[in-house]
Amino acid sequence: MERYVIPSVMQALQLCQAIAESRSGLSASEIESALKLPRTSVFRLLRTLTSERVVEKRGTKYFYGTRIYEISAANSRSRYVQRITAPALSKLIAATNASAIICTLGDYCAFVIDVLDAREKQITTIRPGTKLPLFESAAG
């Protein structure tokens, strides 16, 4: 391993990659096997990543958490899309009294960049950084 590479950071990235490649999530023992790491290392990585919402636990399986999508939605491409679409959408919303969600597409999902609500009382529960399923949502 390169002299200036931090092993635990590399392991965390490998763990995230393993979760990304699994459609049904991974258990801690599956992560141990995939990464060939000791149980204690996997436990600490999962505990850290879960506390930061990078990974979330559902039952006995681990999945990507919302933080991944929040980070993705904050990238420069997303800000560019928001900057060029928000003014036009604001005019459309004012004229139609509707709401709009600005998204950018990922591999199998849409990442919410911004939500423009027509009325304060009609606020959607979808927030920037949310991941929407690509084939089961209006954004998809």
Per residue in 2-53, pLDDT tens? Answer: 788 899 999 999 999 999 888 889 999 999 999 999 999 999 999 999 999 8
Per residue in 51-87, pLDDT tens? Answer: 998 999 999 999 988 777 677 666 666 677 778 888 8
Domains and CATH numbers, the chain: 7-64 (1.10.10.10), 71-133 (no CATH)
The pTM (predicted TM-score) of the whole model is: 0.59
How do beta strands 100-105 and 61-64 pair? unpaired
Q: Give dist(CA 104, CA 139) in Å, integer.
A: 9
Q: Identify the helix (H) or strand (E) that includes residue 11.
A: helix 7-21
User: Under DSSP, is residue 28 helix (H, G, I), strand (E, B) or coil?
Assistant: helix
Q: At 55, which amino acid appears?
A: V
Residue 137 pLDDT:
60
* Top-confidence residue, 1 or 72: 72
| Eight-state DSSP code of residue 120 | G
What is the C-alpha radius of gyration for the chain, rounded to an integer number of angstroms?
19
